[in-house]
Structure 1
Amino acid sequence: MDKKEILDTLKAAQVYLSRLKSLDNELESAVKQIINTFEETERNIHDTFSNLKVVLVNILNKRENFLLEQAKKAKTDGLAPLEECRNVISSKVVGTNKLITQGNSIINGSAKDGLAAFSKNASLLGSLPEVPELKEVPFISFHVDPTSDNEVKDILSQLGEVSRIAPIQITELCEKPGAILVEWHSVENDDRLTDIQEFRLQRAFGDVIKEKHLLVNFNDCYRGLDTQFLVKDLKVDQPYSFRVCCKFEGIQEWSPWSLPQVASTSLRPFSWKISDDFLLSNENKIAKPTVDSPKVLYSDGPQFCVGHSVEFTFLEIDSSNAMLGLIDQILPTSSSLTSTPGNSFLVDKSGKIFVDGIEKCTRLSEFSKGLKVCFTCDLVNDHKVRVNVDCNEKRVTYDWSIDPDYKMFFVSQFYSPNWKILVE
């Protein structure tokens, strides 16, 4: 082995060592994730059950005291009329004993003047107080429905669940102009995954992996059954954190959250180019003509390419004609979109579609206030792209012969100042 071979071997060894260290760092991160999440889960289990024990004891104590009070009230209410009846009987016993004593005294001749009083008291005999039967008085008891008791035991015995990993994970974060396309899929073989009722995507400002205190900033940005969502209105080069979970059919609780994923976009949001003939607002996303016959309105540079999606919304309309779409170059100042010399994909007010100046047989809905027209572009091969145009729940698709690496302008043209359009 000569010197050059030794040097090449040493260089390869350095590269190999660097990769080993990188793998070791990844392994260390994986170990930390397991340990940290276990410790957090352990704390959550202890805290949850400790708090639950306190709550359950309080609930049971309150229920016990409530039932005891009910039993005491039943006893008090039941004894009150019986005590009154007993007092009447006791009074009559005393009177009757007195009458017997008087009568014996008269018979024995020891009481000569008590005959009138004896006769008067004797008239009271035979008046007995009314005593209720046992079936008419309270028979206090306590009863617990064994079914309810078993239900409580079953609930407590199955309370909580430890998940090895959340059933739904974010699989891809793709940057778009002023947005990030988030995709997610299931990662476990779980029969319940076929019965998913809803997904829930959340976004937080910043990197929650490095800055844990930002976890409180998560907010919902999508709920539904789609497995992807375009999160719009993002700042360029600003990190955002995302997480997703799901809800299974028949279960009210959400699943555990996926691992947070962090991403940012370096692509500027779609916007219109400043023009003397238009008034721009909302960070140049909204344009309104200021003259009767304005020039063609262009995007702020060639912004649209394969993999992108651009949506136009008509905020105000007019009876005059209008056009919008995609072109590959800026036209001469006096040109109209109807006479575009290069590659173009346009839609006019009536819904007609023109590809490279040729009108297609398919039509979209006529432009109206609030109508949205969305262009998406996918790769077919090295010389062709596929353009989808969605409008009013209708989609048309055409293959367009254009260099896929070429970025295009999105454009619009109006013929009165009564139009207003939003691009996103």
Structure 2
Amino acid sequence: MSVETDALLQEVKENIEAAQNYRSELQQRLQGLSQARKQVRGSSSHTRDALHRHFQELQTSLGRVLTERLGALLQEVDVIERESISPLDDCQKLIEQGISSADELLREGEAAIRCGISDREEKLCHFTKKALHIQLDSLPEVPALVDVPCVSAQLDDSLLRVMQEYVSRHGNVSSHPPVQIEELVERPGSISVHWCKVDEDFTPQEFRLQYRRSNAPQYEDVYVGKDSEFLVLHLDAHTDYLFRVCARGEGRTEWSPWSIPQTGYTTLAPHEWCPGVDGYILSSRRNIAMRSDSTQGGEGSCVLYSSSPTYFCGQTLTFRIAAAGQMHSQDSLGVCADNRGGVESLQRDQAVCISTSGAVFVNGKEMTNQLPAITIGSAVTFDMEVVSLFPVSNNNNPNDGGTFKLRVTIGSGNREVVFDWLLDQVVDSLFFGCSFAHPGWKVLVF
């Protein structure tokens, strides 16, 4: 086979491979297009159902309210009519009794006139006495029409106009939610959720974040507030979670439509304190440690380390103080290269830490820069990045001696300190720890 044939055959093979890749890419785009079409049609169908359901509920509720109000007004009419007619009925009975008595008296008077002369005087006297008894000059009082209730209803015709105007503005349909989840960042046992608004005309007043396991039936609220990011804690590693966010517009009471759900997961094991250390009580998830009275009694402390070296450079390690006790100069929160025992504080070699007074220690030496004192609610953060590695051995093995330099940023309150931390060996991950001399301190790590 000639060289030209070989080159042509190679070009054909390359074209075939390129065509296969091209077809694969087109098929993936076709699949993406199908998912997009499914989202449009699915969300449209869901929105139609929601609109029908909402307005049907409004019609039912409004009809019930109108019926109840009509019934109450009709009942008021009935009460007024009943209370007003009763005295008129009594007056009518009295008048009818008077008419009956007058008719009877007339008949007796006419009979007395027509009777014979022998009985006339007796009957005339009896008639006269009876007429005096009836009191023909006393008439019952009939109320004037102005004093009698004239029932009417005052109905504001503008109500219908106001309702029509309000209903005409009620609800809105949008093609895109005003806020969307922008980024999901895995953290140890947690996920940092970041979102942003995508509608320039929408002014958010506060946000609402929900999440659920991918196989769970319902979402649950995890955050409501003004921030556009939130760290969702207590998540299981290698488990899919769905996140969605909505917002309440400025001056509005209703929430906006939910963002398109985003799936996130963390592969990082959660930070945990080491169990079984004398003087410390841990929560069920081992992410909260509380300094208790030591079973050995007496003042002093030992370091409580993490259960394993789970902190890696490039992450943010946070200690949040949930309760505070009495301060001591040996108190410390920090990160270390090892979990050596027999020490009372992280204010030692191969460790960086901050004391409860705000003093910062690097390899056991106190820095001149100081952070605010630690109190209830304080959040202390540690951020680290690798700066350089200076090998000193001949075989250039970075794990065989050398100086490992990390750039450390410790933040507390609205202040932070930045410095370089030198270690005598390369470490892939670091321990964290704390030490408190007095009981009452409670710290959450994440």
* TM-score strictly above 0.5: yes
- Structure-1 separation of matches of 2:93 and 2:339: 114
Q: Which moved more, 1:225-234 or 1:414-423?
A: 414-423
Which residue number in structure 2 is paired with residue 259 of structure 1?
A: 260
Give the equivalent residue in structure 1 for 2:10: 4
Moved more, 14-23 or 287-296: 287-296
Inter-CA distance 224–276: structure 2 relative to 1 (3 Å threshold): closer
Superimposed CA distance per residue, residues 149-203 of structure 1 (whole angstroms, 9 cap, x where no aligned partner):
333333333333223222111111110011000011111122x41xx32211112
SS in 1 for 2:170: coil
2:433 corresponding residue in structure 1: 412
Distance 1:367 1:52 in 2: 54
Deviations 1:269-299 (A, max 9, x none): 1124568777673344337677766468356
Distance in 1 between the 2:88 and 2:240 partners? 80
TM-superposed CA distance for 1:122, in Å, is 2.8
Alignment correspondent of 1:202: 210
Q: How does 1:106-121 map to 2 (within 5 A)?
A: 106-107=112-113, 112=120, 113-121=122-130
The residue number in structure 1 matching 2:167 is 156
- Listed one character per residue, the Cα deviations across residues 41-92 of structure 1 (whole Å, up to 9, x for unaligned) are 1122222223333333333333333322322332222111111111211222
Match of 1:57 among 63, 68, 83: 63
Alignment pair present for 1:234 and 2:232: no
Equivalents in 2 of 1:29, 1:263: separation in Å? 19
Q: Secondary structure at the match of 2:138?
A: coil
Instruction: Give the superposition deviation at 1:322.
Output: 2.6
The answer to whether the 8 Å contact 1:376/1:387 transfers is yes
Evaluate the alpha carbon distance shift between residue 276 and residue 198 of structure 1 in structure 2; reply closer, same or farther with a 3 A threshold.
closer
How far apart are 1:127 and its partner, in Å? Answer: 0.2
Distance 1:416 1:381, change over 3 A: closer
Q: CA deviation at 1:108?
A: 5.4
Residue aligning to 1:269: 270
Partners of 2:335 and 2:432 within 8 A in 1: yes
Q: How far is 1:302 from its partner?
A: 4.8
1:233 shift after superposition = 1.1
Residue of 186, 192, 195 corresponding to 1:184: 195
CA distance 1:419–1:122, shift in 2 (3 Å): closer
User: Please, which of 298, 303, 307 is the counterpart of residue 311 of structure 2?
Assistant: 303
State the identity %: 28
Amino acid corresponding to residue 199 of structure 1 in structure 2: F
The 1-side partners of 2:83 and 2:259 are apart by 60
Question: Contact conserved, 2:302 with 2:435, CA < 8 A, in 1?
Answer: yes
CA apart distance, 1:374: 1.7
**TM-score (normalised: structure 2):** 0.79
Q: Per the alignment, do residues 411 and 32 of structure 1 end up closer, same or farther by CA in structure 2, a change over 3 Å counting?
A: closer
Q: Is the 8 A contact 1:275 1:297 kept in 2?
A: no
Which residue is equivalent to 1:23? 29
Give the Cα–Cα distance (whole angstroms) in 2 for the partners of residues 90 and 333 of structure 1. 113
Cα distance, 1:215–1:332 mapped onto 2, change above 3 Å: closer
Letter in 2 for 1:309: L
Q: Is the 8 A contact 2:242 2:261 kept in 1?
A: yes
Give the 3 Å change call, closer, same or farther, for CA 354–168 of structure 1 in structure 2: same
AA at the equivalent of 2:409: V
Asked if structure 2 preserves the Cα contact closer than 8 Å seen for 1:170 and 1:243, the reply is yes
Contact 1:197 1:247 in 2 (8 A): yes
Contact persistence 1:203–1:240 (CA under 8 A): yes
Letter in 1 for 2:252: I
Q: 2:352 aligned with 1:345, yes or no? A: yes
The alpha-carbon deviation at position 101 of structure 1 amounts to 4.1
**C-alpha distance in 2, partners of 1:415/1:125?**
109
Distance 2:196 2:144 in 1: 73
In structure 2, C-alpha distance between the alignment counterparts of 1:68 and 1:298, rounded to whole Å: 74
Cα separation, 1, equivalents of 2:205 and 2:30: 40
SS at match of 2:10: helix
Alpha-carbon distance change, 395 to 406 in structure 1, aligned in 2, over 3 angstroms = farther
Matched residues in 1 for 2:436 and 2:86: separation? Answer: 95
Instruction: Determine the C-alpha separation between the residues in 1 that align with 2:14 and 2:112.
Output: 144
Contact 2:247/2:255, CA 8 A, preserved across alignment: yes
**Between Structure 1 and Structure 2, how many residues are aligned?**
407
Structure 2 Cα separation of the partners of residues 413 and 243 of structure 1: 36
| 2:75 alignment partner, one of 66, 69, 76 | 69
Specify the code of the residue in structure 2 equivalent to 1:93. I
- Pair 82,228 (structure 1): closer, same or farther in 2 beyond 3 Å: same
| RMSD of aligned residue pairs (Cα, Å) | 3.4
Call closer, same or farther: CA 1:258–1:284 in 2, change over 3 Å. Answer: same
Q: Contact conserved, 2:109 with 2:127, CA < 8 A, in 1?
A: yes
Answer yes or no: is the 8 Å Cα contact 1:304–1:410 preserved in 2.
no
Q: 1:384 to 1:411 in 2, by over 3 A?
A: closer
Answer with 309-318 or 297-306: which moved more.
309-318
- Structure 2: segments with no counterpart, 5+ residues: 1-6, 389-404
Question: Which moves more between the two structures, 262-271 or 141-150?
Answer: 141-150
Distance 1:64 1:399, change over 3 A: same
CA distance in 1, matches of 2:410, 2:436: 26
Secondary structure of the corresponding residue to residue 2 of structure 1: helix
Deviation at 1:95, TM superposition (A): 2.4
1:95 aligns with 2:124: no
How many Å separate the matches in 1 of 2:85 and 2:303? Answer: 98
Match of 2:395 in 1: none
Q: Distance in 1 between matches of 2:304 and 2:239?
A: 33
The structural deviation recorded for 1:394 is 4.0
Deviation at 1:100, TM superposition (A): 3.7
From the superposition, tell whether residues 421 and 410 of structure 1 become closer, same or farther in structure 2 (CA, over 3 Å): farther
